[in-house]
Amino acid sequence: MLARCGVKVAINYLQSEEKANKVLDSAKSAGVQVMLVRADVRQAEQVEEMVARVVKEFGKIDILVNNAGGLPKRVPVAEMDDALWNEMVNLNLRSVFYCSRSVIPHMSKANYGRIVNVSSLAAFTGGARCATVYAAAKAGVNGFTKGLAKELAPYNITVNSVAPGLIDTPFHTKAETGDYNQFLPSIPMRRVGTPEEVASLIAYLASDDSSYITGTVFHINGGQY
- CA neighbours closer than 13 Å in the CB half-sphere of residue 224: 24
Q: What is the arithmetic mean of pLDDT over 102-122? A: 98
Determine the pLDDT at residue 64: 98
Report pLDDT digits (tens) over 209-221: 999 999 999 999 9
Asked whether the beta carbons of 59 and 49 are under 8 A apart, the reply is no
Active-site residue, selected from the candidate residues 134, 155, 180, 212: 134
Band of residue 175 on the pLDDT scale cut at 50, 70, 90: low
What residue segments make up the domains of the chain, in order of their start?
A: 60-220
User: Cα(177)–Cα(172) distance, rounded to whole angstroms?
Assistant: 5
d(CA 57, CA 80): 42
Q: Which CATH class for the 60-220 domain?
A: alpha beta
Tell me, yes or no, if 134 is annotated catalytic. yes
Measured from the Cβ of residue 25, the count of other Cβ atoms closer than 10 Å reads 10
Do residues 157 and 116 lie in contact, with contact meaning Cβ atoms separated by under 8 Å? no
C-alpha distance from residue 74 to each of 176, 183, 207 (Å): 8, 18, 36
For the segment 135-163, what is each residue's pLDDT rounded down to a tens digit? 999 999 999 999 999 999 999 999 999 99
Q: How far apart are CA 145 and CA 114, in angstroms?
A: 12
